[in-house]
Amino acid sequence: MEYGIIGTSIWQQNMPLFERLTLDRATKAESLKKLKAELGVDELIYLSTCNRVEFVYATRRETSDAKILHRLIDVFFRDQADLSFFPNDFYHYTGKDAVTHLFRTISSLESLVVGETQITGQYKEAWQEAVESGLSGAALENLIKEALLVAKKIRRETALGTGSVSMASLAAGELKKQLEGKTDRTIALVGSGPMTTKMVKYLAEYLPSRLVFVNRTVEKAEKLAEEFGGSALSLDDFVNSPVDVDAIVSSTAANQPVFDAAFLEKLPLSQASITCIDLAIPRDFSVDFTGAEGVKLVDIPFLKSQGQGNLRQKFVEAGKANRIVREAVTRYLADQIEVSLKPIFRSSYKESCELAKRALDDLFSHRVTGLGEKDQEAVLKLVTKLIGHSSFQPVRKLSDHLVENRPDLSITDFGDSSRKAV
């Protein structure tokens, strides 16, 4: 099975592309089933976070990786002639590079805030959703489980996560800086996803405030208000008649801005300013909020720049983590190649065992005639064991050598050979 990852992230700095690849939650499952069929892959996992979108696939079909990328581009952009992008706005990893990228990503080595643990849970959730939707099977299950073990090993053996922060904690820290002087604070939390729950917990610790939960489905907002304390509003009511708040933190799954110029005009700016924190992809606040008088707009790139503290220590720990990833990739791929190659060597092993048995039968019959039946069986067992060791030991050494010396390694090269041998 060949692995591949196609994606884009905030590092590519093409937000319109990022937003286009972010699927609507309500139709995501159906969209991914159609996408899997159009790509022609066997398994597919879709990850969408506040800073990256990735399509992880596994295929045993003879379809080039370039065709898979072109098909994906065609699916998303056949009706988007006005959206421009360049080849380097995407990244596309295959084979060894794909496994390495996945292990690094799940271990938080590719995160905006290196060492945060949120991405590990997000990837696990994405994989479970793919399994439940029938999109992912044994190949990606094996790969994801191994990546999760690598992430666990890095957390256990390095201090990479010590003092690490998430986007939610960075947002709470920015709110604390902006609102700390105010004694009577009201904050609107828009959306009912995991980010809102995380924000509530950080605010309770760093910046106790009156909370207004806002959601398109008001029942979800009411449930949050009941659980954490506060009031609830429907999104329509909040947009049409915004209440007087000191800050708005928004993390919805809307596919277009929730707050636009019309909303901006309705805002009751009785305070010196209002802080708007946009944690959504696509963005919840339109460009009208950028530089607007009385508004402090904070977005994900800004928060990223605030989370790069303690760089020297993180550099040291990241080096340790990178070594763990390299060793894990080598071990994992070598295991896969070994499994693929063993059928080829197994036929040689069987032939050697049969030859050894005939030779021993002749030896016991004509030359060493004094051994009893049990002793003869013991000798045969020992010889068979030695043949097995000499037959399969080279497989492991060859697998390790290939992984270490072939940067363009493709597992399917060996899979095809093993199937022919069988």
Same domain, 102 and 220: no
DSSP alpha helices (H): ranges in 78-117? 95-106
Do 150 and 173 belong together in one domain? no
Last residue within a domain, chosen from 274, 304, 334 = 304
| One domain, residues 221 and 266 | yes
d(CA 221, CA 231) in angstroms, rounded, equals 8
Q: Are residues 261 and 293 in the same domain?
A: yes
Any domain includes 162:
no
Q: Residue ranges of the chain with pLDDT lower than 50?
A: 415-422
Residues 6+ apart with CB under 8 A from 389: none
Q: What is the 3-state secondary structure (H, E, C) of 183-201?
A: CCCEEEEECCCHHHHHHHH
β-strand 274-278 against 247-250: which pairing, if any? Answer: parallel
Domain termination residue (choose one: 157, 178, 199): 157
Give domain status of residue 279, yes or no: yes
Q: Is residue 148 domain-shared with residue 189, that is, in the same domain? A: no
Residue 216, in any domain of the structure: yes
* Alpha carbon distance 7, 9 (integer Å): 7
Same domain for 265 and 193 = yes
Q: 318 in a domain, yes or no?
A: no
For residue 401, being part of any structural domain is answered with: yes
Question: What residues are labeled active site?
Answer: 50
19 and 118 in one domain? yes
pLDDT for 55 equals: 97
Q: Is 314 domain-assigned? A: no
Range of the domain at 268: 167-304
| 9 lies in the same domain as 152 | yes
Q: How many domains, the chain? A: 3
**Ramachandran assignment for 229, one of left (phi > 0), alpha (psi -120 to 50 degrees), beta (any other):** left
CATH of the domain at 222: 3.40.50.720
184 and 68 fall within a common domain: no
At position 398, the amino acid (one-letter code) is L
Domain identity same for 152 and 9: yes
Residue 335 placed within a domain: no
Q: Which two tokens stand for residue 141?
A: 């299950």
pLDDT of amino acid 116? 79
Residue 315 lies in a domain: no
b/e sequence 66-77, b meaning 16+ C-beta within 10 Å: eebbebbeeeee
H runs (alpha helix) in 65-216: 65-77, 95-106, 118-132, 138-157, 167-179, 194-206
- pTM value is 0.64
In this structure, are residues 110 and 101 in contact, taking their beta carbons and an 8 Å threshold? yes
pLDDT of 112 reads 73
Task: Examine the fold and report which residue of 124, 157, 190 is the final residue of a domain before the chain moves on.
Answer: 157
59 and 22 in contact (C-beta within 8 Å)? no
Q: Is the dihedral of CA 143, 148, 149, 155 positive or negative?
A: positive
List of residues 6+ apart from 45 with CB closer than 8 A: 55, 56, 57, 126, 127, 130, 135, 136, 140, 144
How, if at all, do strands 91-94 and 2-9 pair? Answer: antiparallel
Residues 365 and 402 in one domain: yes
Angle at 330 between CA 156 and CA 66, to 5 degrees: 115
Q: What pLDDT score does 117 carry?
A: 81
**Residue 22 is part of a domain; what is its CATH number?**
3.30.460.30
User: Are 173 and 151 found together in one domain?
Assistant: no
Distance CA 169, CA 308 (A): 13
